[in-house]
Structure 1
Amino acid sequence: MLKGYKYRLHPTPAQAEFLIRTIGCARFIYNKLLEDRITIHEEAKAGGGPRRKPPTPASYKPLFPFLCEADSLALANAKLHLDAAFAKFFARTAGFPVFKSRRKARASYTTNNQHGTIRIEGDRVRLPKIGFIRFTQHRSFNGKIRSATVSMTKTGTFFVSLLVEQDDEPWVPAEHKVGIDLGLGHFAVTTNDALVTEKIANPRNLRKAEARLKRAQRALSRKKPGSKNREKARLLLARKHEQVRNRRNDFLHKLSRRIVDENQVVVVETLKPREMMQNRRLAKSIGDAGWGEFVRQLEYKCRFYGRTLIKADPWFASTQVCSNCGENDGRKGLDIWEWTCGTCGAHHDRDVNASLNLLRLADRNHPGQGLPDELGP
């Protein structure tokens, strides 16, 4: 099993400068390779002749000597990342690859471990062509390091993600199945097969920090471009945005891990946040919730710990169908939080009813553990 471990780096000024240059070289190679691939395609399309092979990262070094200073494996991995982007495009699972911007793209590079070039000794981690860098190892691991990805945030903070090959986690079966309904009033409403319902509050991290972010943004807009005060204001605003992101990730990681620890089968509804955010009135709240990241974390944690994740069909009417009799007596608008079934007379909380309907999918796909009589068909 391959598992990633992310740690905070504490480089010296000289090491930080080298890491920034290497990140820039990897971005430069990615953009040059993409530019040349587009040119080769246009030449072949116009001339009709055989298509020439795209260049390699090493072929650019005579033209751009500064590339020789960077880790060669970082440049090679940039090419692999572009190849993967094109593979996703041709498989129609992603759009056409775009050029990486120095300001907007994620600042990172990936290098490989070759005969111990990446290793940990005490409170330092060794990286190729730079040597040992101090880091904070807040948790240990057992296994062989395969690669390392160095990243830098907008505030100039460095991290290293070590990809480790290790034995699979020991499988410990859990007792319950759970249905999870995601929303905005509550971040999630869960109901397990013991009919225990939990309403998890929506932290609304961005909404709570919005006033402070506005003040910091206004202060930045008043500073003179290129001045030191503007750079200070930019860092202050970036730190506030990072605090919001860190709080959101902390909440999602703790919640997803607790759900995976307690339940053997997890059923979650399939949402399309990007399409839902076309509603301008709800777009900011939907983006703040982080539903997509939550489901992504559930996916890989279920895979790590031997759980089963079931994604309901996007057209599954979890909020419209009565969980008691299974009848759908008409569409209910978003403003209807409680309703009474016209067929059986059962009174429902909208979100609890949806979680019960999702729980039924767990029993249909994994009938080994039956539902209580109250949920029976």
Structure 2
Amino acid sequence: MQTKIVDKAYSFRITPNKKQEELINKNIGCVRFVFNHFLAQSKDDKYLSYSKFATQLPKLKKEYNWLREVDSISLQQSLKDLDKAFKRFFKGLGGFPKFKSKKNNKQSYRTQYFKRSSGTESIEIKDNKIKLPKLGWVKFRKSREVTGKIQNVTIRKSKANKYYISVCVQEEVEELPQTDKAIGIDLGLKDFLITSNGEVVSNPRTLSKYENKIARLNKRLAKKEENSNNWYKVKNKLARVHEKVANIRKDFLHKLSTKLIRENQTIVVESLKVKNMLKNSRLAKSISDVSWSKFVDYLSYKAEWYGKELIKIDTFFPSSQLCSECGYQKKEVKDLSVREWECPKCHSIHDRDINASKNILQQGLQLQLASR
């Protein structure tokens, strides 16, 4: 079986001591300051390259001594993030870079692995501890072994005041054994997905299970004086619930995507324009909760890693309206309330979603043949 080198990330919760917590928070503030400082400079004059701004960092550190207390590599990474944002803007792939806010942006910083001339490494893992620049050895909840060559580590503080690391490595991955199985997938809200072989995976509706608790906490938060100790306590509890919902959803998507990749050689899905679908205020909450885009992203990179094929068909392909037996198109089936219908040409009886997944598979296989 073939092997390939891939970029892979391992995420863990860390348990820093008080001194390390303070330094992490200070580091997050410093990378935000550097990003905003040079963004403001770019607005006043014009954007310079990463290298031009990087040469100005030593002068900035002399002006603001507290910048010397944190990981210097993380400050350079912040400039690289600004450079990337400007390059995307110049290519028309995004808007003009925005200032980072303590309230609205992700609270994190990134540091790179390097080996010193003395032979010591900037980042190391031993047992349940990880060595990070300036922080030293930090305990983390090691749920699995980290294999591969460490490239960088992102340290993040969540809204629930928990700390996490994402260890990015380059790792050798072995392709999975090839099979002759191909499957079409119809993604939905009532059921999360229906496959062309008739398998139905229920929608876990993760958010709805915690909605009452979230509503109660929101009411309590509204009654507290903003920025008071009690206000922050309730806000933290609310953040913990949202974090739990996100973790449950992520776990479900990872397990399901891995199962499909292991069992099938070819997987066919529809290309969904989720941003447009979110404009429907009646369904927006359910669509956000179901996380179709993230699920397809997981399928995409796992297929690439393990030697499988993911085929995406056009959003406007009428998968629900076509008879999977004879190809007749019945436009009335566009109405979502039609769950079962009979083909007027061949008289086959169709379940709406299973029929759609069969058509998605057939269309994907046709595209596969045409591309070869």
Aligned residue in 1 for 2:105: 105
Q: TM-score, normalised by structure 2?
A: 0.91
Offset of residue 175 of structure 1: 4.0
Contact 2:269–2:313, Cα closer than 8 Å, also in 1: yes
Supply the distance in 2 between the matched residues of 1:88 and 1:163 (Cα, whole angstroms). 23
Contact (CA 8 Å) 1:40, 1:54: kept in 2 or not? no
Cα distance in 1 for partners of 2:179, 2:206 equals 31
The aligned residue for residue 137 of structure 1 is 142
Task: Report which stretch shifted further, 315-324 or 290-299.
Answer: 315-324
User: After superposition, what is the alpha-carbon deviation per residue over 1:254-296, rounded to whole angstroms, capped at 9, x for unaligned?
Assistant: 1111111111111111111111111111111111111111111
- C-alpha deviations, 1:311-368, integer Å up to 9, x for none? 1112212122221112223252122212222332222111111100111134224459
CA distance in 2 between counterparts of 1:276 and 1:72 reads: 43
One-letter amino acid matched to 1:276: M
Query: Structure 1 vs Structure 2: percent identity of aligned residues?
Result: 39
Change (3 A) 1:226 1:366: closer
Whole-Å separation in 2 of the counterparts to 1:239 and 1:106 = 16
Alignment of 1:1-377 (within 5 A): 1-41=6-46, 56-115=56-115, 116-191=121-196, 196-331=197-332, 332-366=334-368
The structural deviation recorded for 1:142 is 2.6
State the Cα deviation string for residues 120-162 of structure 1 (Å, max 9, x = none).
Answer: 1122100011111011221113321111111111111111111
Take 2:279 and 2:44, find their aligned partners in 1: how far apart are those partners? 35
Change (3 A) 1:58 1:302: farther
1:207/1:125 CA distance change after superposition, 3 Å: same
- Distance in 2 (alpha carbons) for counterparts of 1:59 and 1:351: 63
Q: Distance in 2 between matches of 1:88 and 1:273?
A: 22
Contact kept in structure 2, 1:37 and 1:54, CA below 8 Å: no
Greater CA deviation, 108-117 or 334-343? 334-343
**What displacement does 1:106 show?**
0.9
CA–CA separation in structure 2 for the residues paired with 1:298 and 1:273: 17
Stretches of structure 1 that go unaligned for 5 or more consecutive residues are 45-52, 369-377
Note the C-alpha offset of 1:54: 5.0
TM-score, normalising length from structure 1?
A: 0.89
1:167 to partner: Cα distance: 1.5
What is the letter of the counterpart of residue 105 of structure 1?
A: N
* 1:87, distance to aligned residue in structure 2 (A): 2.1
Q: Considering only aligned residues, what root-mean-square deviation do their CA atoms show, in Å? A: 1.9
- TM-fit CA distance, 1:177: 0.9
Counterpart amino acid of residue 268 in structure 2: V
* Alpha-carbon distance, 1:163 to partner: 1.1
Q: Residue in 2 aligned with 1:47?
A: none
- For 1:174 and 1:16, locate their aligned partners in 2 and report how far apart those are by CA, in whole Å: 49
Which AA in structure 2 matches 1:137? K
Q: Compare 92-101 and 248-257 and name the one that shifted more.
A: 92-101
**2:312/2:364 contact within 8 Å kept:** no
* Alpha carbons 1:155, 1:239 under 8 Å: kept: yes
Corresponding residue pairs, total: 355
| Structure 1 moving runs of 4+ over 6 Å | none
Runs of 5+ unmatched residues, structure 2: 1-5, 116-120
**1:77-102 deviation digits (Å, cap 9, x = unpaired):** 11111222222223333333222221
CA displacement at 1:65 relative to structure 2: 2.0
**CA displacement at 1:223 relative to structure 2:** 1.1
Amino acid at match of 1:110: R
Asked if 2 retains the 8 angstrom alpha-carbon contact of 1:204 and 1:288, the reply is yes
8 Å Cα contact 2:186-2:357 kept in structure 1: yes
Q: Residues of 1 paired with 2:291 and 2:238: CA distance? A: 21
Corresponding residue SS for 2:172? coil
What is the rounded CA distance, in whole Å, between the counterparts of 1:16 and 1:275 in structure 2? 41
